[in-house]
Amino acid sequence: MFSGIIEKVARAYCSGRRLYVENVISVNVGDSVSVNGVCLTVVDIGRYITFELGEETLKKTNLRESRFVNLERALKVGDRINGHLVTGHVDGVIRVRKIVKRGNTYWIAFEIPKNEFGIVEKGSIALNGISLTIAKVENEVFWVQVVPYTWENTNFRFLKVGDKVNYEIDLVAKYIKALGDFYGCKCFKESHS
């Protein structure tokens, strides 16, 4: 479990089913690390921290093409949660539609994933592992506002329109939908289908 508060940004490259990340955080073999929001297990440590990638991970994430990744070590029992609960079980990738600088903040628009429940104004979402609040939802995009600290200390500063970003819908929203589906509640409809 993670909080979506990024500790470091590191260079990375993927070769086959292995991801090599610049060794910039203290970890041990077997540790869970959020890499661009994906929960991965450390399998080797040297000049690079090495992770093995499964087929599903390669299919559902942007790790194959990411050159800079956000890193966060797993929470320990008793840690403060400064963001929101993030599992590291990425739901898929979405593309950046627009980046606008307003004053000292950045507003970024992302495409809304098809048939995805939980994209609501003031709701939480993890993007490349970053805990963010959805500021606005309109038509086929949602917007987040990124403050200068987050911009400067995450890989968002490298984003361009069209780039793929990993997303994870808020855990609470997923459970609410699952309960509604289980009990056949018609009050939950798929958003943006």
Q: Where are the domains of the chain?
A: 8-73, 92-182
List the CATH code of the domain at 8-73. 2.40.30.20
171's CB contacts (< 8 A; 6+ apart) are 84, 85, 86, 87
Closest CA to 48 of 89, 70, 72, 18: 18
Confidence of residue 191 (pLDDT cuts 50, 70, 90): very low
- Measured distance CA(61)–CA(167) in Å, rounded: 9
**Same CATH fold, 92-182 and 8-73?**
yes
93's CB contacts (< 8 A; 6+ apart) are 60, 61, 62, 164, 165, 166, 167
Instruction: Quick: pLDDT tens for 60-109.
Output: 999 999 999 999 999 988 888 888 989 999 999 999 999 999 999 999 99
CATH class of the structural domain 92-182: mainly beta
pLDDT at 168 over 80: yes
Confidence of residue 193 (pLDDT cuts 50, 70, 90): very low
- Measured distance CA(5)–CA(179) in Å, rounded: 28
